[in-house]
Chain A
Amino acid sequence: MPDKPWEKEGLTENEYEMIIKLLDRKPTETELGIFGVMWSEHCSYKNSKLVLKTLPTTGQCVLQGPGENAGIIDIGDNDAVSFKIESHNHPSAVEPFQGAATGVGGIIRDIFTMGARPIATLNSLRFGNLDNDRVKYLFKGVVSGISSYGNSIGIPTVGGEIFFDNAYEGNPLVNVMSVGILDHKDIATATASGVGNSVMVVGAATGRDGIQGASFASDELTEDSDEDRPAVQVGDPFMEKLLLEASLELIKSDSIIGIQDMGAAGLTSSSAEMASRGNSGIEIDISKVPTREENMTSYEIMLSESQERMLVVPKKGKEETVEKIFSKWGLHAEVVGKVTDDGMLRILNNGNTVAEISAKLLADEAPEYKREAKKPKYVEKINEIKASNIRSNDFNEDLLNLLSSPTIASKKWVYEQYDHMVMTNTVVGPGSDAAVVRIKQKDKALALTTDNNGKYCYLDPKKGGSIAVAEAARNIVCSGGKPMAITDGLNFGNPMDPEIYWQFENCVKGISKACKKLDTPVIGGNVSFYNENPKGAVYPTPIIGMVGLLDSIDERITMDFKDLGDHVFLVGETKEELGASEYLKVNEGKVDGKVPDIDLDLEQRVQKSVYTANKNKLIKSAHDCSEGGLAVALAESTFKNNIGVKIDVESDITNKALLFGESQSRIVISLDEKNVSEFKEIAKANNVPIKKLGITQKNKYEFNNLINLEIKELKMKWETAIEKKLQ
């Protein structure tokens, strides 16, 4: 062995000593490699676990919290929903198409290993400035990767969000959320138990794909990351479609004890995790694993991250059932080992032991670190942003510029490449506050969204974390749903940097606070550290994926104005808040200022009143105010049905803040005159400030005497902005 054997495996000297102590001997090279990936950040969460434990993970709807491949919530009548978000940032930075594609494949597997049929995916993407050619290349590659995998496997991509900011240049974020439905009785778990039971590898054959991908994902991107070639994996959506059908058929056949997908660190982590969950051991003879390439070493077979594979523990005597079901779908299903009672992960090669380590040691006893956290200097240097700090010649121009800034502009160019209709459940598709998917043969439906504003989290991580949750819930309510639970995808820089760790801790604090207040527990998620490039770390970007429930599909509601002459109201309050706004960024190129305040009590009351008003069939449209503020929210409501609006509103704040400020807890609604008084009572009962803004009208967008534009023109700019950038 080399003199510092731990380095090659990305371990520290201390960890190496710890291993020797725990094993009470020196590890073999293979064993050390196994520790290397299992104790990597990606698999062990060693730098985040202690902080994650502070997240609220219980609630009466929670059937399965964090710890399994994905969480599960109860939606009544023995129906359940499983969902989770996962990142594929580093692979996407190196090979955008395959990186994004395999990201989609990985999270979908997490859902169907739980026994759920995936019915929708969403993706949350972050890129640098679209004027940069490399960024264009990454953007196009990621989008076509997602579309290629999702379309082929036949699961609709119904929503998501995309932000563009220099902070993400060179290190894009690609987070994918998958959502599935299942019957309570079909819930599967990833446990191995029953001494003597077989352990089977099913699905694709094993190649040398992504060896050390896990430790790769736990490394900063450097100029020569292009050398991480072996870590690039190619996805096979066709294979996964077969694996999906076969696995669900298998789970329904009630012949298995446990099933686990092979993600990071492949066979090693899946077997260690399954054994450890079942308080048993597993013995595997890797010479029995179907391989795609010749003479692979035991190290390679154990750590390969070949996609589209699963580990299955069948009930006694059910091996044939497994083989039968899988061969029907043209897939491998090989017995490679058995469950033991000694708690060991024992790896044989043609009978000779090549590694023997306690499964718990690998899966659960990785060191847990509380890293040093330090308030960053830049936070001290944040300036106050006043209206007078933002130059503006003409509010018409300002609105047009905002609507054509890629972050706000229509994402049509993207979602028209995604099949968002397959499965014929998409009732409200991409481009709305939250997507709404029906559940066939049932009255209820699901509302789905992902949200985060990296600028907020950068300037004020705690507030930013709370706002991300609050906005997600607001989007659910604006679609007619009741917020149920979340999955969180935490994307940060290098946790060894105290300032990054401070961001991390504070974002999680903010998320916890909002989740408790809004009663939306965290049922799963993902942590991606080391999102850095030579220029520095990305914005702290905790992406919140939320699922909401509509008791009846008829309670769905969209952002679009429906009829001429309807009354338009603002629920919530607009304050003099221009800090951290998109307006500031577009007009001044600055990311600075005080992040808008978030009063979670008010937030909850605002949501409650809109939710109730909608239940009582009082309102025709609802749209939350986010990037670009009230002026942009109103514009977005005019586009679909070409119904304009005439706003006539007094206010004691500056016009800039009124139009473009990003005060939180605000929802624009439209309703028929006859319902106004009843709506007012609901608002009053919830002690929520509301304000009449104006009336819907033909063709024109008018805001006091400040803005006067044809909606045709607005829409054109908004719809074509991204495409223009790409030409």
Chain B
Amino acid sequence: MKAGVVTFPGSNCDYDVFNVLDNIFDFDTDMIWHKDKTLDDYDLIVLPGGFSYGDYLRSGAIARFADIMEPVIEFANNGGLVLGICNGFQILLESNLLPGAMKVNDNLKFVCKNIKLEVSNNLTPFTNQYNKKEIIDMPVAHGEGNYYIDQNGLNKLKKNNQIVLRYKDNSENPNGSLNNIAGICNKEGNVFGLMPHPERCSEEIIAPNNNDGYRMFTSIINEITNRGDKFAR
């Protein structure tokens, strides 16, 4: 299986994801430079965490215009699997691959800690190895994770079952996001963005007794296997 991790200027979790895909799982993984104008055949594209372009204007606002984003958007529109983690999620929002927008955290503070999430939709390519409503643990590390969408946008998300991950409850919500939203997918389910960092809880050594990140990647592998050739790029 072939995965690509995009490096934008200021990405800083790119090698963390690479490490998991390439060393923990046996994805044949490339680092993709933001200036590339084309994409090879990939089974998975990851937009990693970090501070693309310093996130000085709005997180993800400038990265969204990087050369690589055109082929990524095309890849997504053709059904390719796109995973946006943290800053990657913000980039997916800015580039309208996912609906809504990110505001600065409620308490204006950057927050880095483990939090509890509820798997609200376990039928996506990214969550099929969890149980519905299962409570899982994942680290967050962000200053702008306060998800917002207007009322009828929210209704659509609910109707189409696009809310994939929620913070377990208000007390676990680290940023004040609407409806405790932590991760959403597009209508088709092939584009997924989340604030928590699955790559930070996929190895026993740095996340003892926590395979909740690991299972996000096995979900993806499972999906890719099932797709087989059905999925024409």
A residues engaging B (CB < 8 A)? Answer: 144, 147-148, 151-154, 236-239, 241-242, 329-330, 415-427, 438, 440-441, 553
Report whether B51 and A154 are in contact in the complex, using a CB–CB cutoff of 8 Å. Answer: yes
Nearest CB on A from B164, distance (A): 22
Residues of A within 8 A of B118 (CB): none
Report whether B141 and A422 are in contact in the complex, using a CB–CB cutoff of 8 Å. Answer: yes
Residue B79 interfacial (CB < 8 Å): no
A-B contacts besides A237-B54, A424-B20, A426-B206, 17 pairs, CB < 8 Å: A151-B110, A151-B141, A151-B143, A152-B51, A154-B51, A239-B54, A241-B9, A416-B113, A417-B110, A421-B139, A422-B12, A422-B16, A423-B15, A424-B19, A424-B203, A427-B206, A440-B19
Residues of A within 8 A of B197 (CB): 421
Residues of B within 8 A of A329 (CB): 9
Residue B232 interfacial (CB < 8 Å): no
Question: Given contacts A419-B141, A438-B206, are A241 and B12 in contact (CB under 8 A)?
Answer: yes
Residue B43 interfacial (CB < 8 Å): no
B55 partner, pick from A152, A236, A415, A440, beta carbons under 8 A: A152
Question: Given contacts A422-B16, A424-B200, are A238 and B10 in contact (CB under 8 A)?
Answer: yes
Residues of A within 8 A of B56 (CB): 238
Residues of B within 8 A of A417 (CB): 109-112
Residues of B within 8 A of A553 (CB): 205
Among B1-39, those with CB < 8 Å from A are 9-10, 12-13, 15-16, 19-20, 23
> A237–B49 Cα gap in the complex (Å)?
15
Residues of B within 8 A of A241 (CB): 9-10, 12, 51
Residues of A within 8 A of B112 (CB): 151, 415-421
Number of interface residues of B (CB under 8 A): 30
Report whether A237 and B200 are in contact in the complex, using a CB–CB cutoff of 8 Å. Answer: no
Residues of B within 8 A of A144 (CB): 109-110
> A427–B200 Cα gap in the complex (Å)?
11
Residue B137 interfacial (CB < 8 Å): no
Residue B50 interfacial (CB < 8 Å): yes
Residue B212 interfacial (CB < 8 Å): no
Residues of A within 8 A of B148 (CB): none
Residue B53 interfacial (CB < 8 Å): yes
> A144–B19 Cα gap in the complex (Å)?
29
Nearest CB on B from A640, distance (A): 12
Residue B199 interfacial (CB < 8 Å): yes
Report whether A424 and B10 are in contact in the complex, using a CB–CB cutoff of 8 Å. Answer: no
Question: Given contacts A416-B112, A421-B197, A424-B16, are A236 and B205 in contact (CB under 8 A)?
Answer: no
Residues of B within 8 A of A426 (CB): 206
> A236–B55 Cα gap in the complex (Å)?
11
Report whether B13 and A422 are in contact in the complex, using a CB–CB cutoff of 8 Å. Answer: yes
Nearest CB on A from B11, distance (A): 8
Question: Given contacts A237-B54, A426-B206, A553-B205, are A154 and B12 in contact (CB under 8 A)?
Answer: yes
Residues of B within 8 A of A425 (CB): 206
Report whether B10 and A423 are in contact in the complex, using a CB–CB cutoff of 8 Å. Answer: no
> A270–B203 Cα gap in the complex (Å)?
43
B53 partner, pick from A151, A153, A238, A441, beta carbons under 8 A: A238
Nearest CB on A from B210, distance (A): 12
Residues of B within 8 A of A441 (CB): 23
Question: In this complex, which of A148, A415, A420, A424 has the most chain B Cβ atoms within 10 angstroms of its Cβ?
Answer: A424
CB 8 Å contact bits of B129-140 with A (1 = contact, 0 = none): 000000000010
Question: Given contacts A144-B109, A416-B111, are A424 and B53 in contact (CB under 8 A)?
Answer: no
Question: Given contacts A416-B111, A416-B113, are A330 and B16 in contact (CB under 8 A)?
Answer: no
Nearest CB on A from B114, distance (A): 9
> A239–B56 Cα gap in the complex (Å)?
12
> A329–B7 Cα gap in the complex (Å)?
11
Among B167-215, those with CB < 8 Å from A are 197, 199-200, 203, 205-206
Residues of A within 8 A of B53 (CB): 238
> A144–B141 Cα gap in the complex (Å)?
14
Report whether B50 and A154 are in contact in the complex, using a CB–CB cutoff of 8 Å. Answer: yes
Which residue on A lies nearest to B113, using beta carbons?
A416
> A553–B51 Cα gap in the complex (Å)?
30
> A422–B20 Cα gap in the complex (Å)?
13
Residues of A within 8 A of B109 (CB): 144, 417
B54 partner, pick from A236, A415, A424, A440, beta carbons under 8 A: A236
A421 partner, pick from B23, B54, B55, B141, beta carbons under 8 A: B141
Which residue on B lies nearest to A556, using beta carbons?
B205
> A658–B139 Cα gap in the complex (Å)?
40
Report whether A424 and B12 are in contact in the complex, using a CB–CB cutoff of 8 Å. Answer: no
Nearest CB on B from A238, distance (A): 3
Residues of B within 8 A of A239 (CB): 54
Report whether A424 and B199 are in contact in the complex, using a CB–CB cutoff of 8 Å. Answer: yes
Question: In this complex, which of B12, B53, B141, B143 has the most chain A Cβ atoms within 10 angstroms of its Cβ?
Answer: B12
Nearest CB on B from A324, distance (A): 14
> A440–B18 Cα gap in the complex (Å)?
12
B51 partner, pick from A147, A237, A420, beta carbons under 8 A: A237
Nearest CB on B from A418, distance (A): 6
| CB-CB nearest 6 A-B residue pairs | A154-B12, A238-B54, A152-B51, A424-B16, A419-B141, A419-B112
Among B74-121, those with CB < 8 Å from A are 109-113
Question: In this complex, which of A238, A418, A425 has the most chain B Cβ atoms within 10 angstroms of its Cβ?
Answer: A238
Report whether B19 and A330 are in contact in the complex, using a CB–CB cutoff of 8 Å. Answer: no
Residues of B within 8 A of A152 (CB): 10, 12, 51, 54-55
Residues of A within 8 A of B206 (CB): 421, 424-427, 438
What are 23 A-B contacts with C-beta separation under 8 Å?
A151-B143, A152-B10, A152-B51, A152-B55, A153-B12, A154-B51, A238-B9, A238-B54, A241-B10, A242-B10, A329-B9, A415-B112, A417-B111, A419-B112, A420-B112, A421-B200, A422-B12, A424-B20, A424-B199, A425-B206, A440-B19, A441-B23, A553-B205
> A579–B157 Cα gap in the complex (Å)?
64
Nearest CB on B from A713, distance (A): 20
> A438–B207 Cα gap in the complex (Å)?
13
Residues of A within 8 A of B55 (CB): 152
Report whether B200 and A238 are in contact in the complex, using a CB–CB cutoff of 8 Å. Answer: no
Nearest CB on A from B5, distance (A): 14
Residues of A within 8 A of B49 (CB): 422
Which residue on A lies nearest to B52, using beta carbons?
A238
Residues of A within 8 A of B13 (CB): 154, 422
> A415–B113 Cα gap in the complex (Å)?
9
Nearest CB on A from B213, distance (A): 10
Report whether A423 and B9 are in contact in the complex, using a CB–CB cutoff of 8 Å. Answer: no
Nearest CB on B from A438, distance (A): 6
> A553–B200 Cα gap in the complex (Å)?
18
Nearest CB on B from A239, distance (A): 8
> A323–B139 Cα gap in the complex (Å)?
39
Residues of B within 8 A of A440 (CB): 19, 23
Nearest CB on A from B56, distance (A): 7
> A330–B141 Cα gap in the complex (Å)?
27
> A239–B53 Cα gap in the complex (Å)?
9
> A549–B53 Cα gap in the complex (Å)?
36
Nearest CB on B from A330, distance (A): 6
> A441–B109 Cα gap in the complex (Å)?
34
Nearest CB on A from B176, distance (A): 16
> A226–B141 Cα gap in the complex (Å)?
34
Which residue on B lies nearest to A239, using beta carbons?
B54
Question: Given contacts A422-B16, A424-B16, are A330 and B9 in contact (CB under 8 A)?
Answer: yes
> A420–B140 Cα gap in the complex (Å)?
11
Residues of B within 8 A of A415 (CB): 112
Which residue on B lies nearest to A157, using beta carbons?
B112
Residues of A within 8 A of B205 (CB): 427, 438, 553
> A151–B54 Cα gap in the complex (Å)?
10
Which residue on A lies nearest to B15, using beta carbons?
A423
Residues of B within 8 A of A330 (CB): 9
Which residue on A lies nearest to B141, using beta carbons?
A419
Which residue on B lies nearest to A418, using beta carbons?
B112
